Structure formats: C-alpha cells, structure tokens
Structure 1
Amino acid sequence: MIRLPSADALLGRVSPLWRGLAAIVLLCALILAMVESRAGILRSGTEIRLATAPVDPRDLFRGDYVILNYRISTLEPARLDGDKSFERNQTVFVRVAPGADGLAEAKGVYLARPPASAGGAVLEGKVVSTAACAVNANGDQDCNAGRGAIRVAYGLESYFVPEGTGRAIETTERKRLEIVAAVSSSGQAAIKRLLIDGKLVHQEPPY
C-alpha cells in the first residue's frame, strides 16, 4: 500500500523563508480583500442620511475619533413593522426610508432581511440591548416612557477624523451634525461623509 506523506511532513520540506513569505502574501491578500470590500460599499452602496449625536472624542493611541449615536440606534419594535421579540447579540435587519427632513427613519426591524423600499435601504445590525429606554419626540431617550426599546449597532458607531478636530465635532449640537453612509445590497454600511450644517467637514477616501 502506498503511503502518502502527511501535511506536516510536506510542510517540513518547505524552508522557513518560503513559509514566511507565504504567510506575508496571505496576510496582504486578506487586508486587500477587506479594503476592497469597504471601498466597494463606498463606491456603489445606496446613500442614506443619518441624524446623530457624537460622544467621546479622543483615543490617544489612534488619534481623534468620535463615537456616534444615531436616531435609528434605538428602536421600538412595537411601533415598527417586522418582528417583535429579539435577543441580545442577534443579527437584525433594519429597513429605513427618508423622512420629511430627508434623514433616514426606521420603518421596520426583522430577523430575516426584507426587501428595501423605494428610495430606502436595509441595514444589517446587531442587538446590543433589549431593555433600552424609549425615545421621545425630540429624539432623546426617556425612561419614563418605558424600556421596550432595543439598541442596535451597525458598525457605524466609531469614526476617525483628522487630528485636532474630534473635540470640535464632539461639542457640536446634535441637530447640526449629519452622517452620510453607504449601504451595500447585503446590508453592510460604511460612513462616507460627515457634515455640519449641511457643509462637508470630512469625506472618507475610497481606499
């Protein structure tokens, strides 16, 4: 019977130099794939406008950044189309459409991806809380209105900005700040532009 050499034996015949080069090539390929995936979203994704409020502006190890909290981050399933019961860490799909002010409003939240409405998009997110305070008419959380809301993260909550501008953005009134995001057909989203008073402050390069 012919015995084939094991994978370990074959690997042992490859010099450490070639193994190191192969590892570097594989790592570079993975990085390029991630960069191209994000670039594809920015290049061809559906644009949506998001109202948001920034929070913590500084990471000393990585430069300026803002933590963003969106109007669509807190959802009340009872008032929306779709499913009504959710668990923490579940993947959900949030259907949004432009409101009267042109900013994205949540229309439904689902466990399975629904079709997007005309002029809208569907974002994939993850449930981070199932007992959040409801949101009042001003867009602020109001625990007196109950804790029947869920909190959803979309991967858009951290945004790095040019060094020295984080504090200025962090102290900007929420109603003046707007994010334009691109959403792929699969629901993945990426921040494309940041505006204050409708004027461009920072635009994300495609690469």
Structure 2
Amino acid sequence: MGALVADRIVARVPATLRALVSMIVLCGAIGMLVEGRARILRSGSEVRLRTAPVDPRDLFRGDYVILNYDISMLDLASIQGDRDFSRGDPIHVQLTPGTDGFARPVGAYKIRPPASGADVVIEGHVLTTGVCPRAENGTVDCSRTRNGVRVAYGLESYFVPQGTGLAIERTERSRLEVVAAVAPSGGSAIKRLLIDGKLVHTEPPF
C-alpha cells in the first residue's frame, strides 16, 4: 500500500523536474567519486611500483593501458600475516620500500594493520588463490608451493591521452614504473607513469 501511494506521488511530479533531480543526484555522485580520488592524489603517501608482464592480448585496450605489478602476486608463505584467503576477500597488504626504492610486500592481512615508519598499507581484493609464486628472478615457480594469491588494487588500468598509447604498448614492462598514492584508508590511485625513469603521464591533483 505504501509503495502504491509513493508511486502516485512520484507520478504527479513533472517529468522535467524528475529528470532535473536525477541529474543533480548523478552529478553529485560523480563529484564525490572525483573528489575522493583527488584527495588520494593530493594527500596519499607515494609508493613506487614495479610493473610485471601481462598477457599480450590485454596489453592495450583503446586508450587504457593494462598494468600488472610485482605486488599483484603475493607468496603468503614468505610474508607475515594471514594465510586463509578466499577469492573475493578484501586484503590489506603492507608495503615497505626495498633497497632499489620500489615497494615490496612484507605482510598480508584480513584486518588492516597499523602502518609505521616508511611502510604503507594498501587495500585490494583477492582475485585467485592457490597460484604459483614468483622466483627472485621474476619467473613463475611451481616447484615449491602454491601459496600464492593474485590481488587487484584498482591500479590495473590507466587512461592515457588519445594517440599516446602506442609507445607504451610497445614498451617492455620492465621499463615501466608507476608511482601510486596510497591514502591512510588504504585506497590508492595512479599518480605518475614513467618509462626508463622519465615522466610520461601525470595525474592532476583535482
């Protein structure tokens, strides 16, 4: 009965007014998303991420560069934290800068741990469990265990200006570097994209 009354009330509102209200709500939602991402870019802690090879079929889609990272695959046996993750679980990955300046994972947790010193905690979700970990040389090693999990952080695609993606498409992933901003909440966004240490694209802080 209540729903029927509500429908009748809505039906009496002029269509133009309903469309205007819907537009205002949609613009407000988009504005909140944009401001949330801008806040991460402005105030988030910067981390350097080393990229890793991806399936060549997924290398470039239109004006989106598809990215994969060393931290996309975690060997749970070699880092601290929890072990029993399932597909779709949220995961909080503790990163610390290595001697080369690139972030490396030192822990993976179901509940966000406090960050200290130069460490940051980035939030993602588990894509796959029981995968083969990578060896130190970057190759997949299935001879040991299958304690690896594949993680997505929302940093896996990056929009580039039209017509500029071909050079990135043809660039070896070992030459690419991503600087990401990580908020205290764990949310992250790509801030800069570099090739051979030289700036290629940067995101404005708004």
Equivalent position amino acid for 1:99 in 2: G
Partner of 1:102: 101
TM-score, length-normalised on structure 2?
Answer: 0.91
Q: CA deviation at 1:199?
A: 1.0
Tell whether the 8 Å contact from 1:95 to 1:108 is kept in structure 2 after alignment: yes
Q: CA deviation at 1:189?
A: 0.5
**Residues 60-115 of structure 1 deviation map (CA, whole Å, 9 limit, x = unaligned):** xxx32221111111111121111111101000100001000010000100000001
How far apart, in 2, do the equivalents of 1:166 and 1:40 lie? 26
Q: What is the DSSP-based 3-state SS (H/G/I as helix, E as strand, rest coil) of the residue aligned with 1:192?
A: strand
How far apart, in 2, do the equivalents of 1:40 and 1:173 lie? 31
Partner of 1:34: 33
Aligned-residue Cα RMSD (Å) equals: 1.8
Partner of 1:82: 81
- Tell me whether 187-196 or 11-20 shows the greater mean CA deviation: 11-20
Q: Which has the larger share of strand? A: 1
Q: What is the DSSP-based 3-state SS (H/G/I as helix, E as strand, rest coil) of the residue aligned with 1:135?
A: coil
Q: What is the DSSP-based 3-state SS (H/G/I as helix, E as strand, rest coil) of the residue aligned with 1:142?
A: coil
How far apart, in 1, do the equivalents of 2:6 and 2:182 lie? 42
Tell whether the 8 Å contact from 1:97 to 1:117 is kept in structure 2 after alignment: no
Q: How does 1:14-163 map to 2 (within 5 A)?
A: 14-53=13-52, 55=54, 56-59=58-61, 63-163=62-162
How far apart, in 2, do the equivalents of 1:53 and 1:76 lie? 15
Q: What is the DSSP-based 3-state SS (H/G/I as helix, E as strand, rest coil) of the residue aligned with 2:20?
A: helix
TM-score, length-normalised on structure 1?
Answer: 0.90
Q: How does 1:181-196 map to 2 (within 5 A)?
A: 181-196=180-195
**Residues 6-53 of structure 1 deviation map (CA, whole Å, 9 limit, x = unaligned):** 322332331111111100110110111111111111111111000003
| Percentage of identical aligned residues | 56
How far apart, in 1, do the equivalents of 2:145 and 2:162 lie? 40
Structure 2: segments with no counterpart, 5+ residues: none
Structure 1 residues 145, 164: CA separation in 2 closer, same or farther (over 3 Å shift)?
Answer: farther
Structure 1: segments with no counterpart, 5+ residues: none
How far apart, in 2, do the equivalents of 1:57 and 1:101 lie? 26
How far apart, in 2, do the equivalents of 1:43 and 1:110 lie? 26
Q: What is the DSSP-based 3-state SS (H/G/I as helix, E as strand, rest coil) of the residue aligned with 2:18?
A: helix
Partner of 2:5: 6
How far apart, in 2, do the equivalents of 1:24 and 1:32 lie? 12
Equivalent position amino acid for 1:42 in 2: L
How far apart, in 2, do the equivalents of 1:182 and 1:95 lie? 14
